[in-house]
Amino acid sequence: MHAFRVTGFDAPPQIRTMATPSPGPGEVLLDIAACGLNFADILMAQGKYQDTPDPPFTLGMEVCGTVRAHGDGVRAPAVGTRVVVFGGQGGLAEQGVFQAALCRPVPAAMPSEQAAGFQVAYGTSHLALTRRARLQPGETLLVLGAAGGVGLAAVEIGKAMGARVVAVARGADKLQTARRAGADHLIDAGDDVTARVKALGGADVVYDPVGGSAFTAALKATNREGRIIAIGFASGDVPQVPANRLLVKNIDVIGFYWGGYLAFAPEALTDSLADLMGWYADGRLRPHVSHVLPLERAADGLALIRSRRSTGKVVIVPEPA
């Protein structure tokens, strides 16, 4: 089979031919139909992600595929079942082995391309806004990077939770993508974000996957007892938080790492995903995939994310053996 492999952090990932893996105890072998790309894949390829394995390894954190075989001790999901799974790696391949306990069936009406990019973006936004930010109906949610994978999901989920959503993105096309996802107000990232948000009454919750100067601008426009959720640092700049501002306005800055729950509260992820699948079935969520590319163009997919030329998700579709 073919896989998109990291062989060392001093060289770019490449397509390699390797033996089809066999599932071990507690694992299933999947024929992979689609794999969602994430900014974390870029960091992992450089050895800069917090959960980067030692090379060599196959990139691809989240997949949708069909169960082909069971390892010892596995009874479910049944062979032939289409599932999603967050494995952390191994998804950019024609086949892969994953923990059976982490696999979840996919609704029949959900295309594999949407399912593959659903878990990280929607799971991150849902758990961050519910468990950590405690977003309430009627509050103002400010979403930075609102046309990216997690940002666009945050717009959609925030609106579904009854918030007034203010979306920040760069350029008219990306802002219109955020509007279609439910944003009530649009702000170009090149504008004076602080002044624009203050004119709207300030933000009660800030969802920030960008960091850098965007974090600073949002902090200045956060209301008293506001909550800022630090999701990531796509700008490449980790902000230094001025604690005096937090003190004066009683503001919380809350860190959030979705994958970290696998280690200490995996039920939080599975319960959240179950809720989200229900929302999808009810028509409350409409995942946006801007690019679908074959496995041999996985590097192009990562480049789209790195250059911020994509909106929503970029998904890779291998051809199972």
What is the domain-level CATH number for residue 203?
A: 3.40.50.720
Structural domain of residue 149, as residue ranges? Answer: 120-259
| Whether residue 127 sits in one domain with residue 255 | yes
| Whether residue 169 sits in one domain with residue 292 | no
| Whether residue 235 sits in one domain with residue 126 | yes
In tens digits, what is the pLDDT along the chain, a chain of 321 residues? 999 999 999 999 999 999 999 999 999 999 999 999 999 999 999 999 888 999 999 999 999 999 999 999 999 999 999 999 999 999 999 999 999 988 989 989 999 999 999 999 999 999 999 999 999 999 999 999 999 999 999 999 999 999 999 999 999 999 999 999 999 999 999 999 999 999 999 999 999 999 999 999 999 999 999 999 999 998 889 999 999 999 999 999 999 999 889 889 988 988 898 899 899 999 999 999 999 999 999 999 999 999 989 999 999 999 754
Amino acid 35 reads C
pLDDT of residue 321: 45
Within-domain flag for 271: no
Within-domain flag for 133: yes
Within-domain flag for 204: yes
Q: How many CA atoms lie within 13 A of 213 on its CB side?
A: 6
What distance in Å separates the CA atoms of residue 311 and residue 278, rounded to the nearest whole number? 24
| Whether residue 294 sits in one domain with residue 203 | no
Total structural domains within the chain: 2
Q: Which of 259, 279, 296 is the last residue of a domain?
A: 259
| Whether residue 213 sits in one domain with residue 108 | no
Within-domain flag for 6: yes
Within-domain flag for 277: no
Give the DSSP letter of residue 181.
T
CATH for 74: 3.90.180.10
Q: Which of 241, 259, 277 is the last residue of a domain?
A: 259
Within-domain flag for 274: no
What distance in Å separates the CA atoms of residue 193 and residue 21, rounded to the nearest whole number? 49
Amino acid 290 reads S
Residue 274 is encoded by which pair of tokens?
Answer: 């179950």
Within-domain flag for 270: no
What distance in Å separates the CA atoms of residue 23 and residue 20, rounded to the nearest whole number? 10
| Whether residue 135 sits in one domain with residue 67 | no
Q: Which residues of 132-157 are buried (b: 16+ CB within 10 A; e: fewer)?
A: bbebeeebbbbbbbbbbbbbbbbbbb
Cis? peptide before 77, omega within 30° of 0: yes
| Whether residue 206 sits in one domain with residue 309 | no
| Whether residue 243 sits in one domain with residue 148 | yes
Within-domain flag for 168: yes
| Whether residue 170 sits in one domain with residue 85 | no
Q: Which of 259, 275, 298 is the last residue of a domain?
A: 259
What distance in Å separates the CA atoms of residue 198 and residue 195, rounded to the nearest whole number? 5
The pTM of this model reads 0.89
pLDDT of residue 270: 84
| Whether residue 32 sits in one domain with residue 72 | yes
| Whether residue 232 sits in one domain with residue 137 | yes
| Whether residue 187 sits in one domain with residue 104 | no
DSSP of 158-170: HHHTT-EEEEEES
What distance in Å separates the CA atoms of residue 147 and residue 153, rounded to the nearest whole number? 9
